[in-house]
Amino acid sequence: MTFYGIDNQTVELKVTNYQYPDNNEGDWDSNWLYLYLKVDSKCGNWQTIDPSLTTWELQELTGWFNSLSENQEPEYKEIQFTEPNLSFELIGKYDYIEKTIRIRFELESRPKSATDDKNYFVDIKADNKELRRISEELQKETEKYPKKKPTA
């Protein structure tokens, strides 16, 4: 799926596989997902692939965007994950007609040439229809890579 940022910036986000696809124990290791990112932005152009989210974090992100698409106040203004590679922050109010979301890139989600004195992010502006599209696209990813439960 693609996030369309301000000034023609884009962030492509796609789950490519489980980190350990043959692990079906339903534990943490079996639920890590490889996340592919392709970023074309003012702060650079790069691609990464890294196990950055768990299945339940992807579900949480889907719900976060769904809440915003319905003008509901999300539980968190900024959604962060176990691996601090990627975060999404609502800039401004949740009930604006058009919302600004900042996608931040840290650690393995930054370009290989990244320096610690620079912030890497893309801001997107999205109305409820666009936020619903994002939520639906993320939901498709969660359906392809559902949470693995213990097989006791």
pLDDT tens figures, 59-92: 999 999 999 999 999 999 999 999 999 999 999 9
Report if residue 140 sits inside a domain.
yes
CATH at residue 32: 2.30.31
Report if residue 135 sits inside a domain.
yes
* pLDDT above 90 as % of the chain: 92
Name the residue range of residue 90's domain. Answer: 2-144
Per-residue pLDDT of 121-138, as tens digits, reads 999 999 999 999 999 999
**pLDDT score of 152 more than 90:** no
Report if residue 152 sits inside a domain.
no
Report if residue 150 sits inside a domain.
no
Q: What does pTM read for this prediction?
A: 0.94
> Domain tally for the chain?
1
Please give, one letter per residue, the 3-state secondary structure of the chain: CEEEEHHHCEEEEEEEEECCCCCCCCCCHHHEEEEEEEEEECCEEEEEEEEEEEHHHHHHHHHHHHHHHCCCCCCCCEECCCCCCEEEEEECCCCCCEEEEEEEECHHHCCCCCCCCCCEEEEEEEEHHHHHHHHHHHHHHHHHCCCCCCCC
Indicate the average pLDDT of the chain. Answer: 95
